[in-house]
Amino acid sequence: MDNTQRNLEKVTLGGGCFWCLEAVYLDVIGVEEVVSGYSGGTASTANYKDVCSGETAHAEVVQLLFDPEIIPFKTLLEIFWHIHDPTTPNRQGADKGPQYRSVIFYHNPEQKQMAEASVREVAEKIWPDPIVTQIQAFEAFYPAENYHQDYYNKVGDRNPYCTIVISPKVNKFRKTFADKLK
C-alpha cells in the first residue's frame, strides 16, 4: 500500500538532543520517517548555530511521520516519556538551554488531548517529580542540517557523546519496547 492510501500522521517532539530521539524513533515499527530539526521558536528560520545561541527560542526536535494503525500516537508518547527526563526545564543531562526543553508540538486537537492525558496516565506514574513538558500547537518546522540527520547510525560510538548518552538510551528503549522494534 502506498502512502497516498494510508492515513499517516505527523507529530513533533522535543526531549533534549535530537540525535537521541531520532536514534530511538528510527527503530520503531510504524514510524515511516524521522527528521531532526527545530521548532517552537520566535525566529522565522532556524539553524544549529542560532538555535544553540538560545536567542531563537527553538527547541531541538524530531518530526515523525507515522502510521497510527501500526503504532498508535499513545504508544509514541509512552516511548517519549521513557527516553528523556520530562521533569527538568531546559535541560537533559549535561545539555542545558531552551533548545533542550521537553515539548510536544501537536498537529491536531486529538493529539493535544492525548498528550495531556498521557502526562497524567503515563508520565506522572514514571517520574516522581512534576512534569514540565510543554504541550503546544505546531506552527513551523525547520529541518536540521544534513550532517545531523541519522547522526547516531552514521557516527555511533566514534563520538563519545553517542557512547555516553545515546547508546544507553537506545539500549534501554530496545529492552523496554522490544515488541515495538522494526
Q: Are 144 and 38 in contact (CB under 8 A)?
A: yes
Task: Produce one character per residue of 18-36: b if its CB has 16 or more CB atoms within 10 Å, e if not.
Answer: bbbbbbbbbbbebbeebbb
Residue 12 burial class via C-beta count within 10 angstroms: exposed 0-12, middle 13-18, buried 19 and up: buried
pLDDT tens for the chain, residues 1 to 182: 454 567 999 999 999 999 999 999 999 999 999 999 999 999 889 999 999 998 899 999 999 999 999 999 999 999 999 999 999 999 998 899 999 999 999 999 999 999 999 999 999 999 999 999 999 999 999 999 999 999 999 998 899 999 999 999 999 999 999 999 99
- 68 DSSP assignment: T
pTM, entire model = 0.95
pLDDT at 1: 43
Q: Which residue range forms the structural domain that includes residue 56?
A: 3-180
Domains contained in the chain, number:
1
C-alpha cell recorded at residue 178: 522490544
Please list the helix, strand and coil fractions of the chain in percent, rounded to the nearest 5, in that order: 45, 25, 35
Terminal alpha carbon distance of the chain? 18
Sheet holding 134-137, edge to edge: 134-137, 102-106, 9-15, 59-66, 31-39, 141-143
- 130 DSSP assignment: P
Catalytic hit among 17, 20, 52, 162: 17
User: Active site includes 17?
Assistant: yes
Give the domain CATH number at 12: 3.30.1060.10
Nearest residue to 148 via CA among 50, 15, 38, 5: 38
